[in-house]
Amino acid sequence: MKFGKLFKREMVPEWIEAYVDYTGLKHILQEIRRFKESKQPQTPATSLDQRLALYRNFSGLNLQGGVQNTGDIENQVIAVNTVPHENYRKFYQTKFLASPEGAENEIIFFDKLDHEFNKVNTFYKDKVDEVMREVTLLNKQMDALIALRIKVMDPGFNAFPSLQSLSLDINNSTPSRITSPLRMTAVDTDDMPVSPSYGRQVSMTNASYPKLPINRNSLREFRDTDSHKTDPLEILDHVKIVNTFESPISTIRGVLSESKENDLSYKKEELKKVEHRLKLIFIEFYQKLRHLKHFSYMNLSAFSKILKKYEKITSRKAARSYLKMVDNSYLGSSEEVTSLLNRVETTFIKHFSQSNRREGMKILRPKHKREKHRITFISGFFSGCSIALLVAVILLRDDRKLIDKDEGNSYLDKIVPLYSFYAYIVLHMLLYAANIYFWKHYKINYAFIFGFKQGTELSYREVFLLSNGLAMLVLAALLMHLHMNSRAEVYGTRIDYVPLGLIMVLLFITFCPFNIIYRSSRWFLIRCVFRCICAPLYKVTLPDFFLADQLTSQVEAIRSLEYYICYYTWIKSSHGHDTCQSHNVYNIFYFILAIIPYWFRFFQCVRRLFEEKDQAQAYNGLRYFLTILAVVIKTAYVLKKSLTWEVLVILSSLITTLFNTYWDIVVDWGLLRRKSKNKFLRDKLILHHKSVYFAAMVLDVLLRFAWLQLVLRFNVHSLRGSTVSSIFACLEVIRRGMWNFFRLENEHLNNVGKYRAFKSVPLPFAYHDEDDHKEE
């Protein structure tokens, strides 16, 4: 693989703008090459030079005493100078020493090269400074953790060793340093390390790079404790537990006490919670260090590659001077990240994995998920079977002439709601698989945004496999149902238990406790659903409100579950279809189930409003409240049609549709910006074709108003009532699938704008040393 493609593939998606613009520099080199070719046609003089080259002397391979090679120094065409800049930082500027005549593009090349290097170097320095500030906080958190462990696990502790003896021992860990690719004569891209999060797996161990001697006195100590302290438990007098209100009980207690910090209780449950949170913090911190290390290596490789291309095209000697400056810069010479990686590994293994290095490194460096060919084969097989079964269902329906008979129509109206439930789910899963494919294609970091654990996220192939497997199962059950109904005298009442058996199989697969059929993903989904149900008692995360938004597009599927209960209690016993609407209990739950997903989102907005103090959440909550009113009015109109209800339906649905459409396009998608480089869009776009955004906006409006047409209950003579409802429900699922892509694109661009590539885990301890000093 060419380095340019490898470099692009291995970028951290949220840091793309901080990397060197390798493609832009290559374009300038191509301009230089074209200029050289146009100015240097093949001439007799050139041919003479080539013939004279045959008679060059050979000086031998042995070094001659007193002979010094000064050719490189004499042939240098650039001089790299250090320019003072604000905040005491070094900026580098290259002066072109050769004749500027005909070398305008080369001057442009070095100007851009300086700009890119200063950008990369500044970003790397800022991130390392940020990491070192986090190290100070982690030192204090570890002090408190060790003291809390002593207090909880050994209450009779009377010795007075310093905390330094209880913490990290770095004498046995010799930090290694990144071997700068600038010192290599050539870069072998096949042996180059690859980011573990966004490419193939790479080993970042000390063996990956040769160890160089370092000055230990220049390294910051991972701890910041006073070696003369006598009592290691004294620190507990200055800390409190930070309450994150991540559970219903903690939320209720927080509302009652209105305190975000609690005194230590010195219980084992408290110790476990602190250890778990600090463990997550160390994992995220370690991943940040790995990304920084890889960021440095890949950019250094890019500078080496691009300067070698420059020398090859121009036949000028410039790489040595420039790469010497790069190698001596902070980007090429900094050792903090590499040494911290070793110390974090040692600390994590010692304090969080019971000194088991193998288990500790397995947690810190989870294996990248590898694509399996059998997934593609099985999903293709299932999709083929699903198509064949669908054709068989259509042929069987036509053969039995169910549409032409009143009995057939009544039969279809009775079973369509039973099987349409699966149609909504399969369609949603297929669209989700398509979304994952395009997110991955356009380097939208969906796994990080959703908070999937590395190595457990489902690829589009796996989601496609699950959706086709479910479709094959449902179509097989439907075909069996139609066949058994045609021979009712043989099968009797067993026909009615086919849909019930199907939903039992689906529930068993969903809640199966065994480690099969992507258990981690199933439990992640179940946890998110539970958090949605318990809103606003849980802290709202993006997966929670994203899933709740999906549920708002699955109202008909939720109502289908109610129809299952009705079918196996009232319809099956009375052998009628209209008995559901004749029961008041059914009608009441018909209202309630329709508004439940919107209530989830409304309460989530309320929780975020009080936590984040964001006024936008108030408008978002108002939007869902108006949608609830519109759904209630629409449901009342469906159950009891009248002119008054029709007018109310039109007004409420129109207001809600306009509000929701505006929110979709402007807030969720971030489009229709007034002062934007891209007219009517936004400044940053991931898709190359702007027409796709305009088409999506128009389609979103049409599908929103298609739902309004469903409210007005337009009659379609070629279709029956339940079929019409199913079609419009599928249109809403399609709209949601389109919304998902642009919503996550906007979220990703917000992360890119803030260089936010890691989760923020709140610290478990809050220190009060500063407050004490102020009071004194």
Model confidence pLDDT, tens digit, residues 356-391: 898 888 888 877 777 788 999 999 999 999 999 999
Q: Within this chain, do residues 165 and 311 fall inside the same structural domain, yes or no? A: yes
Please tell me whether residues 425 and 358 are part of one structural domain.
no
Q: Is the domain of 431 the same as that of 349?
A: no
- CA-based torsion, 567, 568, 569, 574: positive or negative: positive
Is 38 within a domain?
A: no
Give me the pLDDT at residue 536, please: 86
Q: Do 253 and 144 reside in the same domain of the chain?
A: yes
pLDDT digit string (tens) for 724-736? 778 888 999 999 9
Q: Do both 291 and 150 map to the same domain?
A: yes
Domain boundary among 340, 366, 392: 366
> What per-residue confidence (pLDDT) applies to 739?
96
Does one domain contain both 442 and 360?
no
Tell me, yes or no, whether 371 lies in a domain.
no
Structure confidence at residue 67 (pLDDT): 40
E strand segments, 295-387: none
Determine the pLDDT at residue 158.
55
What are 488-528's pLDDT values in tens digits? 666 666 777 888 888 899 999 999 989 889 999 999 999 99
Give pLDDT, residue 192. Answer: 39
Q: Within this chain, do residues 361 and 410 fall inside the same structural domain, yes or no?
A: no
At 571 the pLDDT is 67
Which pLDDT score, from 0 to 100, does residue 713 have?
56
Asked which of 304, 336, 366 is the last residue of a domain, the reply is 366
pLDDT for 62:
52
Residues 246 and 312 in one domain: yes
In this structure, is residue 492 part of a structural domain?
no
| CA distances to 130, 579, 616, 709 from 641, in Å | 63, 18, 36, 15
CA distances from 549 to 188, 509, 526, 624 (A): 47, 24, 15, 10
Give the structural domain span for 329.
Answer: 108-366
Q: Which of the listed residues 316, 346, 366 is the one where a domain comes to its end? A: 366
Which pLDDT score, from 0 to 100, does residue 551 have?
A: 94
Whole-angstrom distance, CA of residue 264 vs CA of residue 763:
15
What's the confidence (pLDDT) of residue 653? 86
pLDDT of residue 269: 85
The verdict on residue 772 lying in a domain is no
How far is Cα 451 from Cα 668, in angstroms, rounded to an integer?
19
Task: Specify the number of domains making up the chain.
Answer: 2
Q: Are residues 581 and 632 in the same domain?
A: yes
Whether residues 231 and 292 share a domain: the answer is: yes
Which structure tokens are listed for 176?
Answer: 């290694």
Q: Which amino acid is at 560?
A: S
Q: Are 294 and 433 part of one and the same domain?
A: no
Give the pLDDT score at 404.
Answer: 57
Regarding whether 358 and 420 lie in a shared domain, the answer is no
**What pLDDT does residue 572 have?**
64
pLDDT at position 634: 82
Residue among 314, 337, 310, 336 nearest 323 (CA) = 310
pTM of the model: 0.81
CA 736 to chain centre: 19
| pLDDT under 50: residue ranges of the chain | 45-46, 48-49, 52, 63-74, 88, 159-229, 577, 717, 770-776
302 occurs within a structural domain: yes
Give the pLDDT confidence score for residue 85 in this predicted structure: 63
